[in-house]
């Protein structure tokens, strides 16, 4: 964003559409059914996420450090669903490409980057939190107890995503491949000068997602096995083990998605793989809601409690009227 906000002359030079007319993208690429699929998946996952977020903000769930991190992840996931699913699908239907409104696509691309950077860094923080908790409860409480979790998130995911949002070149929706690419003219003008290569910040974020996330769990499991000589988490409650495996599933999917985005930037692969990668981002952004609804008893119970309360609450209609004077003393 800093290029658009503080270096507009450079931005206009690198993100201009002087080589073709503004309606160029309405004439060539048509992805009607794929766009409908993007919108459908994004909408379904958003609907599934709403009760999960509501459940996490009620009762005493936010007293647990893991739920604070999961709520942070939910915020980034919702942003990711809006950009990867709703925006991508609507723009695909309308044939609304970069040169239809360069500033709009640039800003939305930056918001998408903010979501992706936040998703990866929050998933990493959640992985560390769960591994510390199962390895050493006392150390976990020292690091994440009380409001210290919010401090970790402020200087971790929030700072990481905001710095990337401000300093890194954003990905732009390509109507050619229906995926977000660095080159705003993808499908029309090749980046012969390598001006739109994957920025170092993007590259670092994807490397963290592809290697650090699974690395944390692998290292934890190896150390745990060397100490206990077994893989079972003896002494851990069902809830603790369940949340651990929930975060593990989310992290593994993050690693696969980050690896896929690295691949499409450097390897010439069939266009269908680009579609698949974009679908993976949508599913990844909504995956946590499915995991919570299927595997997390606390969230399910909280949602069910609200549904039952709403269903069983009697509906009263207040009706007041004044009796005629001759009946008031009967």
**Which token pair is 43?**
């909408």
Average pLDDT over residues 18-31: 63
What is each CA distance from 12 to 16, 22, 106, 196, 202, in whole angstroms? 5, 15, 12, 14, 22
CATH number at residue 259: 1.20.1070.10
Q: Is the pLDDT of residue 321 over 60?
A: no
pLDDT-derived band at 26 (thresholds 50, 70, 90) equals low
pLDDT digits (tens, 9 = 90+) for 230-243: 555 555 555 556 66
138 within a domain of the structure (yes/no): yes
Contact present, 84 and 108 (Cβ < 8 Å): no
Residue 277 is predicted with a pLDDT of 85
**Which token pair is 263?**
């691949």
Residue 101 is predicted with a pLDDT of 85
Backbone phi, psi, residue 199, to 5°: -65, 155
Residue 242 is predicted with a pLDDT of 63
313 within a domain of the structure (yes/no): yes
pLDDT digits (tens, 9 = 90+) for 89-107: 999 998 888 888 889 999 9
User: Which residue from 264, 262, 284, 283 is spatially nearest to 272, judged by alpha carbons?
Assistant: 264
CA distance 274 to 180: 9
CA distance 167 to 244: 33
What is each CA distance from 129 to 22, 113, 291, in whole angstroms? 49, 24, 18
More confident residue, 260 or 300: 300
CA distance 63 to 52: 16
CA distance 186 to 180: 10
pLDDT-derived band at 316 (thresholds 50, 70, 90) equals very low
Contact present, 51 and 292 (Cβ < 8 Å): no
Q: How many CB atoms lie within 10 A of CB 231?
A: 8
More confident residue, 59 or 72: 72
Average pLDDT over residues 133-146: 82
Give how many domains the chain has, as a whole number. 1
87 within a domain of the structure (yes/no): yes
User: Which residue from 192, 321, 240 is spatially nearest to 65, judged by alpha carbons?
Assistant: 240
15 within a domain of the structure (yes/no): no
What is each CA distance from 148 to 61, 74, 153, 176, in whole angstroms? 16, 19, 9, 45
pLDDT-derived band at 193 (thresholds 50, 70, 90) equals low
Average pLDDT over residues 289-297: 84
Average the pLDDT over each of 68-72, 137-141, 233-237 and give the range with the smallest value: 233-237
Q: Scanning the structure block, which residue is given the tokens 């402020």?
A: 154
More confident residue, 40 or 314: 40
Q: Is the pLDDT of residue 327 over 50?
A: no
21 within a domain of the structure (yes/no): no
Residue 300 is predicted with a pLDDT of 85
Q: How many CB atoms lie within 10 A of CB 141?
A: 14
- DSSP annotation of 155 reads I
Q: Residue 173 forms beta bridges with which residues?
A: 180
165 within a domain of the structure (yes/no): yes
Residue 272 is predicted with a pLDDT of 82
Tell me what the pLDDT averaged over the chain comes to: 80
CA distance 98 to 35: 16
pLDDT-derived band at 317 (thresholds 50, 70, 90) equals very low
Average the pLDDT over each of 293-297, 300-304, 316-320 and give the range with the smallest value: 316-320
Q: Residue 179 forms beta bridges with which residues?
A: 174
What is each CA distance from 305 to 21, 55, 169, 210, in whole angstroms? 56, 10, 45, 38
Domain of residue 138: give its range.
Answer: 31-327
pLDDT-derived band at 330 (thresholds 50, 70, 90) equals very low
1 within a domain of the structure (yes/no): no
CA distance 36 to 178: 12
Contact present, 33 and 114 (Cβ < 8 Å): no
Percentage of the chain lying above the pLDDT 70 cut: 81
What is each CA distance from 43 to 68, 247, 257, 288, in whole angstroms? 24, 23, 20, 15
Is this model's pTM higher than 0.75 or not?
yes
More confident residue, 257 or 87: 87
Average pLDDT over residues 297-324: 62
Residue 240 is predicted with a pLDDT of 59
Q: Is the pLDDT of residue 197 over 80?
A: no
Residue 311 is predicted with a pLDDT of 57
Contact present, 199 and 165 (Cβ < 8 Å): no
Contact present, 159 and 170 (Cβ < 8 Å): no
Q: Is the pLDDT of residue 328 over 80?
A: no
Residue 38 is predicted with a pLDDT of 95
26 within a domain of the structure (yes/no): no
């Amino acid at each position: 964003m800093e290029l658009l906000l503080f270096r507009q002359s450079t931005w206009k030079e690198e993100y201009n559409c002087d080589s073709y007319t503004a309606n160029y993208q309405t004439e060539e690429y048509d992805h009607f059914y794929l766009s409908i699929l993007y919108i459908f998946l994004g909408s379904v996952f958003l609907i599934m996420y709403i009760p999960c977020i509501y459940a996490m903000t009620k009762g005493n769930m936010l007293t647990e450090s893991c739920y604070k991190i999961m709520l942070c992840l939910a915020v980034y996931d919702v942003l990711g669903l809006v950009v990867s699913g709703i925006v991508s699908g609507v723009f695909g239907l309308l044939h609304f490409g970069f040169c239809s409104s360069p500033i709009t696509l640039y800003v939305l691309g930056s918001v998408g980057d903010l979501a992706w950077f936040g998703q990866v860094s929050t998933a990493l923080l959640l992985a560390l939190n769960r591994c510390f908790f199962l390895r050493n409860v006392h150390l976990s409480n020292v690091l994440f107890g009380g409001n210290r979790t919010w401090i970790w998130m402020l200087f971790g995911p929030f700072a990481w995503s905001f710095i990337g949002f401000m300093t890194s070149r954003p990905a732009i929706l390509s109507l050619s491949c229906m995926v977000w690419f660095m080159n705003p003219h993808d499908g029309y003008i090749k980046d012969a000068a390598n001006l739109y290569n994957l920025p170092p910040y993007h590259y670092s974020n994807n490397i963290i997602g592809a290697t650090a996330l699974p690395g944390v769990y692998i290292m934890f499991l190896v150390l745990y096995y060397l100490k206990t000589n077994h893989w079972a988490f003896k002494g851990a409650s069902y809830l603790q083990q369940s949340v651990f495996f929930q975060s593990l599933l989310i992290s593994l999917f993050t690693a696969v998605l980050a690896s896929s985005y690295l691949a499409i930037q450097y390897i010439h692969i069939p266009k269908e793989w680009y579609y698949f990668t974009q679908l993976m981002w949508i599913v990844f952004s909504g995956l946590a809601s499915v995991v919570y609804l299927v595997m997390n008893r606390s969230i399910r119970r909280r949602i069910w409690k609200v549904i039952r309360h709403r269903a069983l609450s009697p509906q009263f209609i207040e009706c007041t009227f004044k009796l005629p004077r001759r009946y008031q003393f009967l």
